[in-house]
Amino acid sequence: MNTDLLSFVQAAEIVAEHARTIAAQERCVEHVPLGEARGRVLAEPIVADEDQPPFPRSTRDGYACRTAEVNTHTALPLVGATRAGDPLPPPLPAGSIRQIMTGAPVPEGADAVAMLEHVEHEDGRVRLSSLRTLESGENIVACAAQAHAGAALLAPGVRITPAQIALAALCGYARVAVYARPRVAILTTGDELVPVDVVPEPGKIRNSNAPMLAALVAAAGGKPLVLPTAADSAEALEAALSAALSVDLLLISGGVSAGTHDLVEPVLERLGARFFFTGVRIQPGKPLVFGELPRTGSFALPLFGLPGNPISSAATFRLFAEPVLAALAGAGDRGPHFVAAQLSARVKTKPGLTRFLPAQCNFASPGEGLPAVELVPWHGSGDLAAFARANCFLVVPEDVDALHPGTVVRILVF
Ligand code: AMP
Ligand code: MG
């Protein structure tokens, strides 16, 4: 085992520590219409502008009544009806019952709503069915049961979901304050790379990392800025890196392995970079670099040197760069988020590295157990055809040489 390198957990903790520092920095705020807020990070608390619900609300179509009266199963006279949207009804006179619809305000004096299906009608009077009794409070949400006026219902730092959009709408927010999306420069390196619209000459390959990383950045809430590919020369790299300093996060793909053309680290060093680690005991992605470049008059620029193999780039982005991106975005919950699944086929491996292997998890499987997961056969970390068939990374702990069917494992879903 190469003990010079950090373990996955050690490296993840270093990243999380930097993410905490970054999250505490000031960041720009912008206001977006609610319809564009999904996935953005909230920059202000969402405050209830009135009690919720603002009046005792019926949750059923039925009859507002006093439980002490209806539970005697006497037929009571009907004194009118209230529909959702009607003004508040007058108090319910003693010994009477009032028709009420779902969402309508319950009259003062009534302490429950008898469901439509649970009453019988008799000469214009209404009686609770003999088989039924009603409890005080049944089918009513009391005034302010959900929230009191002035209460903060969402704190800054949440990544806004559709449910939270609905809550903001309920509270009268047509626009919400969100943090600006972090700008993420993507610098791919390699003499072998040609753009996607070029037919590669023998020995060349299309640059697949640039669009993949751009998609990963966008999915994680960042604004990708794809830079022109840099050749494997110190001059080209230095020029490209020097031009990329005005962003919030720098992702460099390729050039971080031990080969003679892997010049990213020495060039970064020449530019004054500080490295937090330059390798992790993981597969894929072992040569991963995490550091920062100093800038005058601003925070240092956090950077990752992602190994160029596409699956290594994707895995290290999800495991390490995404939490930093989330911190730059002001998000409180930064991941990575693993979930449990059950292995359906044996995994044979070698101890010494924590592995994140492309796998297929069957979330649609019927039954009550955990979803079943198995590895996708692959030809190493450049096998994009296999990667495209996977829907998660299966985590193989560092100290095992085999995992047996039935084992509960952790996965990182794409
Ligand atoms: P490197 O990390 O530069 O040593 O590259 C490792 C492997 O990934 C090599 O086979 C490269 O050709 C491949 N590779 C590097 N960058 C890219 C890229 N942007 N798109 C696709 N493959 C890449
Ligand atoms: Mg390279």
The DSSP string of 96-122 is -EEEE-TTPBPPTT--EEEEGGGEEEE
What pLDDT, on a 0 to 100 scale, did the predictor assign at position 366?
72
Pick the ligand that lies closest to the CA of residue 207: 1
Ligand 1 binding site (Cβ under 6 Å of any ligand atom): 188, 190, 192-193, 205, 207-210, 253-257, 259, 262, 307-310, 382
Instruction: Return the H-helix or E-strand segment holding 385.
Output: helix 384-389
Strand locations in 310-363, DSSP E? 339-343, 347-348, 354-362
Q: Specify the residue for token string 């550091």.
A: 291
Helices H, strands E: what count in the chain?
9, 28
Instruction: Tally Cβ neighbours within 10 Å of residue 66.
Output: 19
Question: Ligand 2 (ion): which residues have CB within 5 A?
Answer: 190, 254-255, 308
Instruction: Return the H-helix or E-strand segment holding 32.
Output: strand 29-33
Which candidate, 342, 382, 337, 334, places its Cα nearest to that of 359?
A: 342
Pocket test for ligand 1, best of 309, 317, 387 (most atoms within 8 A of CB): 309
Residue 87 in 3-state DSSP?
coil
Q: Whose CA is nearest to atom 12 of ligand 1?
A: 192
Pick the ligand that lies closest to the CA of residue 380: 1
Q: Which atom of ligand 1 is nearest to the CA of 259?
A: 4
Q: Tell whether omega for the bond before 156 is within 30 degrees of 0, i.e. cis.
A: no
Distance of CA 249 to the CA centre of its chain: 19
Q: Which atom of ligand 1 is nearest to the CA of 208?
A: 20
- What is the token pair recorded at 329? 């975005």
The alpha carbon of 180 and the centre of ligand 2 are apart by a number of angstroms equal to 33
Q: Whose CA is nearest to atom 5 of ligand 1?
A: 308
Q: Whose CA is nearest to atom 14 of ligand 1?
A: 308
Q: Which atom of ligand 1 is nearest to the CA of 256?
A: 2
Q: How far apart are CA 395 and CA 384, in angstroms?
A: 19
Pocket test for ligand 1, best of 253, 304, 311 (most atoms within 8 A of CB): 253
Q: Which atom of ligand 1 is nearest to the CA of 257?
A: 4
The alpha carbon of 308 and the centre of ligand 2 are apart by a number of angstroms equal to 6
What pLDDT, on a 0 to 100 scale, did the predictor assign at position 3?
55
Q: Whose CA is nearest to atom 15 of ligand 1?
A: 308
pTM value is 0.93
Pick the ligand that lies closest to the CA of residue 257: 1
Q: How far apart are CA 382 and CA 205, in angstroms?
A: 11
Pocket test for ligand 1, best of 186, 209, 289 (most atoms within 8 A of CB): 209
The alpha carbon of 238 and the centre of ligand 1 are apart by a number of angstroms equal to 19
Pick the ligand that lies closest to the CA of residue 254: 1
Q: Specify the residue for token string 């000031």.
A: 26
The alpha carbon of 253 and the centre of ligand 2 are apart by a number of angstroms equal to 8
Sheet containing 62-65, strands listed edge to edge, beginning at the edge strand earlier in sequence: 112-115, 62-65, 97-100, 76-82, 125-128, 119-122
Cβ contacts of residue 125 below 8 Å, gap of 6+?
Answer: 75, 76, 77, 78
What pLDDT, on a 0 to 100 scale, did the predictor assign at position 332?
96
**What are the per-10-residue average pLDDT scores of the chain (414 residues)?**
81 98 96 98 98 98 98 97 96 98 98 98 95 97 98 98 98 98 98 97 98 98 98 96 95 92 93 97 98 94 98 98 98 96 96 98 86 97 97 97 97 98
* φ, ψ (nearest 5 deg) of residue 212: -65, -45
